[in-house]
Amino acid sequence: MHIPDGFLSTPVWAAMNLAAAPSVAYLARRAQREIDDSRIPALGVMGAFVFAAQMINFPVGLGTSGHLLGSALLAVTLGPAAASIVMTAILVVQALIFQDGGVLALGANVFNMAVAGVAAAYLPYRLWNSGRLRNPAIFLGAFLSVLAGAVLAVAELLLSGVRMGQTVLGVSLGLFLVTAVLEGVITVAVIRSLEAMRPNWVRAPDSSGRLVLGALAGAAILLAVVGVLLASADPDGLERLAERAGIAARARNLFTTPLADYQLRGFGADWLGKAAAGLAGLVAITATTLVLGKLIARRRGA
């Protein structure tokens, strides 16, 4: 779902950057209502967990993989504005440190996943977050978050002049639908697991839920260190779409980093390099989200 540089035309990526910047600024102000000092640890742990989960690709069929997006998971636990800020931090770290998603295309990725994706995820939950409809609402929100990001990404490619035949477009959207269903199943399972450990933590994720915070942190480390061994090597839905549309060769990086492609060079074993990169990412995401949380909480206090 991360659009690399080279896929979007200059007018499209420039327009998306102009749309994303004020959107994130507005959401940062709105996040003051959702973040206080007691909730800052949850931002760091949830950000780290979603980052680690995004590293694990799972097969969705036809030689294509997908991974957890996490917009719904963040929106349900942190609130929509705080979720958008955490997702934005994840996307920025991924683009600048791991070269996952373009730098020029960062505005498009942020708008697709951190703004529109979170909004689509939160709307069903906002409407039906109690009683029998709660789990279906969480599932629907997760499902819609993936579709929103996918449809926007495809629209941006089409506006950039990328030609897609009906077959290519239909197969790609079908694979995105499968990914969306799996996103919903995983999100509901994670939320139910968190509520089993501490029933009220999801609705009020403060620092008193140390068991939940510890479990999430441990799960993030396991995903980053061990989960990479199980991750599918198949390209994700957007990469497969780019191959079928004949634009995969356009992808380019504006610079190189030691952690490109989630691989720290210099290790004898490929797994060690991936694990080291994953752990470095967890540290970067946790530190970034904690700092952002403190800044937002401070402005709320002021």
Residue 297 confidence class, pLDDT cut points 50, 70, 90: confident
Residue 153 lies in a domain: yes
pLDDT at residue 192 tops 60: yes
Residue 104 confidence class, pLDDT cut points 50, 70, 90: very high
Residue 35 lies in a domain: yes
Residue 127 lies in a domain: yes
pLDDT at residue 302 tops 60: no
Residue 265 lies in a domain: yes
The CATH number linked to 188 is 1.10.1760.20
pLDDT of res. 62? 85
pLDDT per residue over 62-102, tens digit each?
889 999 999 999 999 999 999 999 999 999 999 999 999 99
Structure tokens at 225: 């260190």
**Collapsing DSSP states into helix, strand and coil, what is residue 64?**
strand
**Collapsing DSSP states into helix, strand and coil, what is residue 266?**
coil
pLDDT at residue 301 tops 70: no
pLDDT of res. 114? 97
Chain position carrying tokens 């917009």: 71
Residue 4 lies in a domain: no
Residue 2 lies in a domain: no
pLDDT per residue over 4-18, tens digit each?
999 999 999 999 999
Going by C-beta distance under 8 Å and a sequence separation of 6 or more, which residues neighbour residue 57?
Answer: 65, 66, 67, 231, 232, 233, 234, 236
Of 79, 154, 161, the C-alpha closest to 118 is 79
**Collapsing DSSP states into helix, strand and coil, what is residue 79?**
coil
DSSP 192-229: HHHHHH-TTTTTS--TT-HHHHHHHHHHHHHHHHTGGG
pLDDT per residue over 240-284, tens digit each?
999 999 999 999 999 889 898 898 877 656 888 889 999 999 999
Residue 3 lies in a domain: no
pLDDT of res. 300? 66
Residue 199 confidence class, pLDDT cut points 50, 70, 90: confident
pLDDT per residue over 120-179, tens digit each?
999 999 999 888 899 999 999 999 999 999 999 999 999 999 998 888 889 999 999 999
Q: Does 74 or 35 have the greater pLDDT score?
A: 74
d(CA 302, CA 299) in angstroms, rounded, equals: 5
How many domains does one find in the chain?
Answer: 1
Residue 231 lies in a domain: yes
Of 191, 257, 269, 195, the C-alpha closest to 225 is 269
Residue 205 confidence class, pLDDT cut points 50, 70, 90: confident
Range of the domain at 236: 10-301
